[in-house]
Amino acid sequence: MTPPEDTLETTTVDKKALIKGVLEVYPDKAKKKREKHLNVYEEGKSDCGVKSNIKSVPGSMTTRGCAYAGSKGVVWGPIKDMIHISHGPVGCGYYSWSGRRNYYIGTTGIDTFGTMQFTSDFQERDIVFGGDKKLAKLITELEELFPLNRGISIQSECPIGLIGDDIEAVAKKATKETGKTVVPVRCEGFRGVSQSLGHHIANDSIRDWVFPQADKKKKELGVEGTPYDVAIIGDYNIGGDAWSSRILLEEIGLRVVAQWSGDGTLNEMMLTPTVKLNLVHCYRSMNYISRHMEETYGIPWLEYNFFGPTKIAESLREIATKFDETIQQKAEEVIAKYQAQCDAVTEKYRPRLEGKTVALMVGGLRPRHVVPAFYDLGMKLIGTGYEFGHNDDYKRTTHYIENGTLIYDDVSAFEFEQFVKELKPDLIASGIKEKYVFQKMALPFRQMHSWDYSGPYHGYDGFAIFARDMDLALNSPTWSLIGTPWKK
């Protein structure tokens, strides 16, 4: 199952030919569309040479989700002390129930609600007569049964926008009646081309429905500002990622006032306009609110990368430059402190992983951000792509990848399978829908959305787990069992 010697030497020309071959199977109209999304990165170019954030080709088996997934599943869902109503039919809430491993501390069902499903369970009569009355009633029932909730968000499913419901009016009335934050979110699944628009809509709903209240309540929030206040933006605390990041920021002397949105609370969101710097991990899903805070409150933002020791050290140093010398000094101390831990990890795992090749396909920030962590382990990237990236993601990607890397945007199941068959990476790092396709092909695989039920992968503590997990996937003894000995 090891790749032939010349895999890494596969040239840009060969890869372009591969793309051309794969496209041959499409009908003309779809071929014209898809050929803009596949390319080979050429060193020195300002982006990866692909179009992105465009409608998926019908029938192509895209991996993409929808705006509801981006809002309820990603941005809003992890805010733990609010109740997020999946407003519409039962399915959307059901499929996304406890699916993302956004860890949090709290008593579920009492003061936190992260792993629960709240739905208006639309029936035919709600479609015909509208669901506003039901929604209003539902909110009063929530208040009675879950009195410690700090607020409510209304996550619209497809029918809401199609039947002309006025959830904004319901939200305003409910806010008045309950005195709590009630946020209507127009994240119907048909809006936009992927979950990405859902992130944007969710960001905008925070801007429009949370921040105005925060501005009013500033003094009641009860936290005095310090010059070292920061917020973690765009970390969903998958397997505890935000915690293994927070610990480092606190160690260098910063005060993390808010986590957006993994293990986050409404209060933390409201405190954020007072911070000195917003630290953005997932740029794709939360650049909008960061830009808004920059424009409105003058808060600068900085993208950082806590995957793998190289990038962690680089990021800690860069973050520290935004503060005074004491922070800079501490950053150096923290980097030095963890050096032995990182060395032990690379000494153990690098020899087991050196030279192995990886093909990535994920969402958000990971198609670029995790690449240096693989490099830290001596591994090589041969292809990467985003489910729902935009051009700015592909620009940023150029800082992470080498000449000749295959790029695939919104890759179809067909294309991905063909690319993998041809390029024979040693490891595929992608999502649950892809996992078993490639494992059936005897290819080691790790889920890069859920960390394959492991994690955290962020920070120094996370890197050790990342290294362990890549090793156990690549060097699993079961790969050698595939295929009968009598037919080999």
Q: Site residues for other proteins, window 412-441 (CB under 8 A)?
A: 412-414, 417, 432-433, 435-441
- Contact status, residue 112 vs residue 178, Cβ threshold 8 Å: no
In the bound complex, what is the minimum distance in angstroms from residue 228's beta carbon to other proteins? 13
Residue 213 contacts other proteins per CB under 8 A = no
In the bound complex, what is the minimum distance in angstroms from residue 402's beta carbon to other proteins? 28
Indicate the burial class of 478 (C-beta count within 10 angstroms; 0-12, 13-18, 19 or more).
exposed
Tokens 């996370």 map to which residue? 462
Residue 38 contacts other proteins per CB under 8 A = no
Active-site option among 34, 100, 368, 446: 100
Active-site option among 34, 84, 199, 396: 199
For 472, list phi and psi in degrees, rounded to 5.
Answer: -70, -25
Q: Catalytic annotation on 342?
A: no
Q: Catalytic annotation on 69?
A: yes
Q: Catalytic annotation on 467?
A: no
Residue 219 contacts other proteins per CB under 8 A = no
The correct pick among 64, 172, 207, 350 for binding other proteins (CB under 8 A) is 64
Residue 439, beta-bridge partner list: none
Question: Which of 269, 232, 263 lies closest to 112, judged by CA?
Answer: 263
Residue 250 contacts other proteins per CB under 8 A = yes
Residue 54 contacts other proteins per CB under 8 A = no
In the bound complex, what is the minimum distance in angstroms from residue 301's beta carbon to other proteins? 19
Question: Which of 422, 420, 415 lies closest to 23, judged by CA?
Answer: 415
The correct pick among 77, 78, 114, 159 for binding other proteins (CB under 8 A) is 159
The correct pick among 41, 68, 228, 236 for binding other proteins (CB under 8 A) is 68
The two most distant CA atoms of the chain are separated, in Å, by 76
Q: Catalytic annotation on 199?
A: yes
In degrees, rounded to 5, the angle at the alpha carbon of residue 298 between the alpha carbons of residues 295 and 303 is 85
Query: From the CA atom positions of the chain, what is the Rg in Å?
Result: 23
Which amino acid type is present at position 34? R
For 228, list phi and psi in degrees, rounded to 5.
Answer: -110, 20
In the bound complex, what is the minimum distance in angstroms from residue 197's beta carbon to other proteins? 9
Binding piece for other proteins, criterion CB under 8 A, among 8-16, 51-59, 322-330, 374-382: 51-59
Binding piece for other proteins, criterion CB under 8 A, among 107-115, 202-210, 313-321, 400-408: 107-115
In the bound complex, what is the minimum distance in angstroms from residue 140's beta carbon to other proteins? 8
Check the CA dihedral 155-161-167-169 and report its sign: positive
Tokens 């591969």 map to which residue? 18
DSSP 442: T
The correct pick among 169, 190, 216, 402 for binding other proteins (CB under 8 A) is 190
Check the CA dihedral 447-450-453-455 and report its sign: positive
User: Which tokens hold the place of 152?
Assistant: 């409510």
Q: Site residues for other proteins, window 137-156 (CB under 8 A)?
A: 137-138, 141-142, 144-145, 147-148, 150
Nearer to other proteins, 245 or 305 (CB): 245
Q: How many residues does this entry show for the chain?
A: 488
Residue 63 contacts other proteins per CB under 8 A = yes
Residue 119 contacts other proteins per CB under 8 A = yes
Count the residues of the shown chain that bind other proteins, applying the rule CB under 8 A.
Answer: 129
- Give the integer Cα–Cα distance in Å for 52 and 445: 25
Nearer to other proteins, 44 or 222 (CB): 222
Nearer to other proteins, 65 or 273 (CB): 65
In degrees, rounded to 5, the angle at the alpha carbon of residue 341 between the alpha carbons of residues 338 and 344 is 145
Helices 413-423 + 12-23 axis angle, to 10 = 140
Active-site option among 37, 48, 66, 214: 66
Active site residues: 66, 69, 100, 199
